[in-house]
Amino acid sequence: MTSVEYDNAAAITERLEQRLVEALGGETNVSRRTVLGGLGVAGSAAVGIRASQTGAGAGDDDEDDHGNFGAVDEYRNTNFDPHEFLSTFNTGKSGQDAVPQRVYTENGRTVREFEFTAVDTTITIAPGIEFQAWAYNGQVPGPTIRAVEGDLVRVKFENLGRHAHTIHPHLKNLNPKMDGIPQNGPGVLETGESFTYEWIAQPAGVHFYHCHSLPLKEHIHRGLYGTIIVDPDPERVREAPADYVTDHPSQITDAMVEDLVTEAKTRNHEYAENNAVNEMVIVMNSFDTNFDGGNEVYAANTRAFAYGVGETDAEGNWTAGETKRPIQIDKNERQRVYLVNATEFDIINSFHTHSQFFDYYDHGTTLLPTRQTVDTIMQTQAQRGIIELDYSDHDPGLYMFHAHQSEFAELGWMSFFEVV
């Protein structure tokens, strides 16, 4: 791509981002319709047409009792970098400094222990736009936990927020006490209370965790959610290959078993030396900035247009920092996206790639794709899956991906891969 093409992409990203921020502009009663109305004239900026600053109609401006968003000059919570979040996996051995963790053996089983807190905090969802969130360990999405199939995941959880919270895992959990719902075990944890959750990491795949306190829609929308990745155990795959395919067991040959074991190793972080795979976590989320039950901002990993195009010399050097920067990938590496939908107030979200088709593994629980050669998939809330991409035959340059609900893209969920 030429520098002119990069400049054009940067200009579009910047204009969309500006219109989004201007439309919100610190007005706590601005509706989604108002924001989209402002974006509708984004292409007319050159002739001086301005975005509407009209707020929501009467009756739409009721503020939530727990606070609203406000405008500031720039990103404040700079400790959260959406680019760093992409590839930061908390394994017990390594991960984020904000997540105390360790690995040890107990009764012959590997234990991966983590310390989580729930806190009330302020996050930045677009330049100058803040949102009053409830968050695990102070970040949205919450920390990504990664374990190997059969491990014990132990989470020491303390509620430091003003409201009752839990952690509910979308795992095959055999103990109802550990389900993280109001009716079972310790129930909801009030301010200052703590509990240690224990879950066996099963099945292999990409999974979701979230607060299950009532009202659910608020506790999830406010930011209490994250991803659990369970890596397949290659030896278990060898012993029980039928558990990892959708084919009839009689169709599984010895050669196929070896292929499945090899594939399992590419998904297991403890076999990293064998992996020529670039892995990333993308959580599709959204924000109802005026608490009227409809979202005004959409994002991949919280920040609108974070993976858009900023200032660059078109040679891989970016000057826009964490605010706007495509996801740079090596065309010679296989790309794997652990995709999770945490969007509230919308029935579905979606993932669409430009100029590329991919294989999709629904929930990531199989080692063979459940859909092949597609360029768009849909997910309802809590649905998740693995996307596998190959850009080895593509020219270097920018390749867009985004939600294919068009308004979601215009409201922040628009991104680029930069193939180098």
Other Cβ atoms closer than 10 A to 33: 15
**pLDDT value for 28:** 55
pLDDT of residue 67: 37
Q: Measuring CA to CA, how many Å separate 309 from each of 56, 320, 321, 396, 398?
A: 31, 8, 11, 15, 9
Alpha helix stretches (DSSP H) within 142-253: 216-221, 234-239
Q: Which residue has the tokens 């850009």?
A: 391
CA atoms of 85 and 143, how far apart (whole Å): 8
The per-residue pLDDT of the chain, averaged, comes to 87
Residue 30: pLDDT band with limits 50, 70, 90 = confident
- Mark 263-272 as b/e (b = at least 16 C-beta within 10 Å): bbbbbbbeee
Determine the average pLDDT of the residues in 333-339: 97
pLDDT for the residue numbered 24: 84
Average pLDDT for 153-169: 97
Q: Where in the chain is the domain with CATH 2.60.40.420?
A: 82-235
Q: Which CATH superfamily is domain 82-235 in?
A: Cupredoxins -  blue copper proteins (2.60.40.420)
Interstrand relation of 277-287 and 334-341 (parallel, antiparallel or unpaired): parallel
Q: What is the mean pLDDT of residues 393-415?
A: 94
pTM: 0.89
